[in-house]
A and B are shown apart, each in its own frame.
Chain A
Amino acid sequence: MNELALQVGQTASPEAMLFWILAPLTLAAALGMLLVKKAVHSAILMAFVMVALAVFYIAQGAPFLGIVQIVVYTGAVMMLFLFILMLVGVDSSDSLTETIRGLRPIAITAALGFGGLMVSLLGRATLGRGAVGVEEANAGGNVQGIAQLLFSTFVWPFEVVSALLITAALGAMVLAHHQRIQERPTQRQLSISRFRGDSLATAAGLPAPGVFARHNAVDVPALLPDGTAAAASINASLKARGDVLDSSRFELGTVDTSIEEEK
């Protein structure tokens, strides 16, 4: 432990303070990610962990990585996660009851064992010398130093990684690509089919969702003149996802037709 120890001179106390404040928060956020029900909450906690890690990077003399961490992870990757969450359904939440019998105790036992063994191993590890610190390596600037290595020693992995990136981008496109089975109908064809169809009921377009004067959300079906809900007014993809509010409480039980007679 002592061999591995690194005394960080004058910055010791601020960094230690930073660590001891931020590290428990990071651990708590990571644990919370595990325990919260909603995926979107997990994503927020994850973003916090990543920002915290970026701070740790900068504190350890890796400002380039820290910035990249914020830009790439919190900026790009986490946004991507949130986009997908929205696509899949922001409200979708796991029930936290375990369905696979015996998995939870096994996983928790294994995790305790794993963590304990890792900590114990790290405690026993020796380097044989003191820690060096990156001040010297960062003398010409951290970005310059990394660039120096990246374009000399690691130029070949760097190129390979670029190929990997392109492949991944292509792969994502292929996976997300949706093959159109029929040709997309033109506006002209659409209007013709609307008027030549079986009934003229939809000739003027489908009814808009929302209940006039009482509710205007897109997930609430419109009411027809006789007071019943118009299922056709809801977007098909909302229906498919199941995100449709029950509109029965907005329906009119009986339509009052006595007004005309009074006149």
Chain B
Amino acid sequence: MNAANYLYLSALLFTIGAVGVVLRRNAIVVFMCVELMLNAANLSFVTFSRINGDLNGQVVAFFTMVVAACEVVVGLAIIVTIYRSRRSASVDDASLLKR
């Protein structure tokens, strides 16, 4: 079993997450896709930790999780606030910049 396979999986998950961010309109789904990208990166860190034989990668992944949790909390609060004022969770509706 080749450890690099995890890296391939990580790359593909990251790509899927990125496409999701671009293509989905529901802000909550967009957020989930962002989480997917972060988790894909975490998988890479853990795999590199294994390849290098020390725990630094795992610690970095741990930090990433903390940051991701923070991001989710604030991001969801923003979504709730936006929803409260415009009754919509679509990211396309918040396109005031062009007008």
Contacts and interface: CB of A to CB of B under 8 A. Distances in A.
Interface residues of A, number: 90
Contacts, number: 243
Contacts of B49: 60, 62, 134
Given A73-B39, A168-B70, A94 B25 contact: yes
A119 interface: yes
Contact of B23 (A15, A34, A50): A34
Nearest to A164: B70
Contact of B77 (A154, A161, A175): A175
A42 B3 contact: no
A60 B6 CA distance: 10
Interface string B29-57: 10111011001001100110111111110
A73 B19 CA distance: 21
B39 A53 contact: yes
A92 B31 contact: no
A163 to B, nearest CB: 10
Contacts of B46: 56-57, 60, 62, 65
A150 B20 contact: no
Interface residues of B, number: 71
Contacts of B56: 149, 153
Interface in A1-32: 1, 4-8, 12-13, 15-16, 19, 23, 26-27, 30-31
Contacts of A168: 69-71, 73-74
A65, A107, A132 — which one has the most chain B CB atoms within 10 A of its CB? A65
A217 interface: no
- Chain B residues touching A, majority SS: helix
Given A146-B62, A161-B67, A27 B13 contact: yes
B7 to A, nearest CB: 5
Interface of A: 1, 4-8, 12-13, 15-16, 19, 23, 26-27, 30-31, 33-34, 39, 42-43, 46, 49-50, 53, 56-57, 60-62, 64-65, 68-69, 72-73, 76-77, 80-81, 84-85, 87-88, 92, 94, 98-100, 103-104, 107-108, 111, 114-115, 118-119, 122, 127, 131-134, 136-138, 142, 145-146, 149-150, 153-154, 157-158, 161, 164-165, 167-169, 171-173, 175-176, 178, 240-241
9 contacts: A34-B23, A84-B80, A92-B89, A108-B19, A111-B16, A122-B4, A134-B54, A154-B59, A173-B77
Report, nearest first, the 7 A-B pairs whose CB atoms are least far apart.
A132-B53, A168-B70, A16-B1, A175-B77, A118-B11, A172-B77, A115-B15
